[in-house]
């Protein structure tokens, strides 16, 4: 059985410090470190789609900050 969130088993972030993915506000250098890890994560698309569907309000998900996800959602046509 394939669970809907089985992509999490292939996520890179649990292998590093999870706090990296919740950088302090106004600290682009810290956010960039998390985004660099996401860039090498094979489940980035699944992660981002889930974050958008769940309206994740905090943290870096799928390589995007909360502000970037809000912008993407606003511009993305409803499916």
If the CB atoms of residues 15 and 79 are measured against ligand SF4, the closer one turns out to be 15
Letters for 6-35 (x = contact with ligand SF4 by CB under 6 A, - = none) are -----xxx-------x--------------
Q: Which of 7, 1, 10, 3 is nearest to 49 (CA)?
A: 7
How far is it, in rounded angstroms, from Cα 66 to Cα 56? 7
- The distance of closest approach from Cβ of residue 78 to ligand SF4 in the complex, given in angstroms and rounded to an integer, is 23
Rounded to whole angstroms, the Cα distance separating 40 from 55 reads: 23
Comparison of 44 and 76: residue with beta carbon closer to ligand SF4:
44
């Amino acid at each position: 059985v394939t669970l809907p969130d089985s992509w999490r088993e292939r996520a890179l972030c649990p292998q590093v410090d999870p706090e990296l993915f919740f950088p302090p506000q106004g600290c682009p250098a810290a956010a960039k470190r998390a985004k660099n890890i996401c860039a090498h994560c094979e489940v980035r698309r699944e992660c981002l789609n889930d974050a958008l569907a769940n309206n994740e309000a905090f943290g870096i998900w799928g390589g995007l900050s909360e502000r970037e996800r809000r912008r993407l959602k606003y511009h993305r046509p409803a499916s």
